[in-house]
Structure 1
Amino acid sequence: MREKEAWVMNGFLGIFVMAILLAGTVFGFIHQEFVLGGIALIIAITLGSGITIIQPNQSIVVIFMGKYMGSIRQEGIVITVPFSIRRTISLRVRNFNSKRLKVNDVNGNPIEIAAVIVFKVVDSAKAVFDVDRYEQFVEIQSETAIRHVATKYPYDTFEDVELTLRGNAEEVSEKLTTELQKRLTVSGVQVIEARLTHLAYSTEIAQAMLQRQQASAIIAARKQIVEGAVGMVQDAIDKMEKDGIVDLDDERRAAMINNLLVSIVSDNGTQPVVNTGSLYQ
């Protein structure tokens, strides 16, 4: 069901008409014109039953005898379908903070995750008729979307080619917003933003995963250091041979490469050994 505009009359004009009708009622009763006075009174009561006051950023859903008559977004005082049921729906921007959910990431590691969802109602008819209690619907679907997105990515990794929950917060938030919007379209709700507010390993594995994370960081750092050292040694050897500084055979080339790599890669400062003999002694 889609939102449509309900019939409305300017509220001040309606009150003016009601005043005239009530005056006609009094006039009719005074002059014993009871039929005329009764008709004027009935019309005045009928119009009065349709008086509605609408606050800014609110929508009134009008229901008459079980039928949806339309919605009113015009703020102020209006007169709509008499004797109708009118439900007020807030169009203001709201946010929902999810609970801390325990889920498994794509690698099967248990993590704790939570998010804040910023949303607003854009179709009051869908919010009232297509779902039962749309606020609760938003909460349940938000938690479902958070769980689904969390299971698609690892908590963390040191490979740049892969998205992670910890390292790619913006991308994950966009994925969560898209996922949640698909689920909430049926309820007439627009998701403005969805962003992670809490992300951590579960307490039972937090210490073990911290050690694993530290080990992975050390390995990744060592890999980068070795790659850089190899490049530096290659540049140094090429430079010396190109400039004719030294002419090395294969054995001495290997020894120099070994010494340079040890000097660059070593955690502690290396102690130089001064050779006072010939190159081969």
Structure 2
Amino acid sequence: MQEKRGFSLNGYLALLILLVLIPYSVSGLNYQGSPAVVVHLILLILSLICLGGFFMVQPNQAKVLTLFGAYVGSVRATGLRWTIPFFMRRTISLRIRNFESGRIKVNDNQGNPIEIATIVVWSVSDSAEAVFEVDDYESFVSIQSESALRNMASSYPYDPQEEDGLALRSHPQTISERLKEEIQERLDKAGVTVHESRISHLAYAPEIASAMLQRQQASAIVAARTRIVEGAVGMVEMALEQLKAQGVVELDEERKANMVSNLLVVLCGDKHTQPVVNAGSLY
């Protein structure tokens, strides 16, 4: 069911016409015994019935019109409007709203339990679908958003498993876009447009948070040590090449090994080294 334009007139124009018809109908009732009295009476009754056709439409709202259970259209024109009094009118807000899901616990694709929540910014784009395709479109948005979030969270790991791998924590923008697409796909049938979707909370579940924190710290330490060792090896290699190229000193293999060992201790140690002055000969 698609939204269509419902019948309505400018309310001020309709009010002006009724303000003219009602006094005219009442004045015609004074002519007793005249056939025109019946006409004026019918006209007065119709004018009074038409007073029930006035309604107001606020900005960013729509009125869904039905006649004896049949959908006849929607009115989005704002201000005072008039329509057939027998039309039932239901107000639907078209304003942008936001919905924050509760923190749900779900396993990522590595089987790790995590807590995740999202904020969804949405609005009704088709009033007919929102009213007639689903029973309660607000509840539908809430339930389907959490369902999409749960499905998306179980499709990606919490932390990247590869250097350029997609993960919940490392790629928030990409994850948010994919979450928005999945929610929109579920809400299309309800006449709802998703404007934005963002992850508002992401963390490991309390039962494994401590262990995962230790793993992250260990990974960070290993990565830092790897960079330090790579830099130290490069510096040692550069030092030996420059000593040889400039002829500063000739070192045999044993002395080279001793020098490399000392330089690596200095460069890779996590504490400041204490210098020792050798006053004797090199050998």
Confirm or deny a common fold (TM above 0.5).
yes
Q: CA deviation at 1:11?
A: 0.2
Matches of 1:265 and 1:83, distance apart in 2: 86
Alignment of 1:9-158 (within 5 A): 9-32=9-32, 33-157=36-160
Q: CA deviation at 1:217?
A: 1.7
Secondary structure at 2:260's aligned position in 1?
helix
Q: 2:235 aligns with which of 211, 232, 236?
A: 232
Identity rate, percent: 52
- Asked whether the equivalents of residues 62 and 81 of structure 1 are also in contact (C-alpha less than 8 Å), the reply is no
Instruction: Give yes or no for the alignment of 1:188 onto 2:196.
Output: no
Once the two structures are superposed, residues 68-92 of structure 1 have per-residue CA deviations (whole angstroms, 9 ceiling, x without a partner) of 2221111111112330111111011
Q: How many residues align?
A: 280
Q: 2:166 aligns with which of 155, 163, 167?
A: 163
TM-score under structure 1 normalisation?
0.90
Secondary structure at 2:29's aligned position in 1?
helix
| Change beyond 3 A, Cα 1:110–1:17 | same
Matches of 1:161 and 1:178, distance apart in 2: 22
Matches of 1:242 and 1:149, distance apart in 2: 59
Secondary structure at 2:64's aligned position in 1?
strand
Secondary structure at 1:204's aligned position in 2?
helix
Matches of 2:31 and 2:179, distance apart in 1: 72
Secondary structure at 2:147's aligned position in 1?
helix
Paired AA for residue 41 in structure 1: L
Secondary structure at 2:201's aligned position in 1?
strand
Matches of 1:55 and 1:165, distance apart in 2: 41
| Change beyond 3 A, Cα 1:244–1:183 | farther
CA-based RMSD of the aligned residues comes to: 2.2
Structure 1: state its 5+ residue gaps: none
Q: CA deviation at 1:134?
A: 0.6
Structure 2: state its 5+ residue gaps: none
Secondary structure at 1:231's aligned position in 2?
helix
Matches of 2:134 and 2:249, distance apart in 1: 82
Q: CA deviation at 1:20?
A: 2.2
Segment drifting more, 238-247 vs 75-84: 238-247
| Change beyond 3 A, Cα 1:183–1:245 | farther
Matches of 1:157 and 1:244, distance apart in 2: 49
Q: CA deviation at 1:249?
A: 4.3
Matches of 1:92 and 1:139, distance apart in 2: 17
Q: CA deviation at 1:202?
A: 1.3
| Change beyond 3 A, Cα 1:232–1:214 | same
Matches of 1:214 and 1:157, distance apart in 2: 15
Alignment of 1:242-261 (within 5 A): 242-261=245-264
Q: CA deviation at 1:256?
A: 2.7
Aligned to 1:4: 4
Once the two structures are superposed, residues 45-70 of structure 1 have per-residue CA deviations (whole angstroms, 9 ceiling, x without a partner) of 44323211111111111112332222
Paired AA for residue 258 in structure 1: S
Q: CA deviation at 1:274?
A: 4.7
Matches of 2:242 and 2:43, distance apart in 1: 107
| Change beyond 3 A, Cα 1:172–1:82 | same
Paired AA for residue 90 in structure 1: S
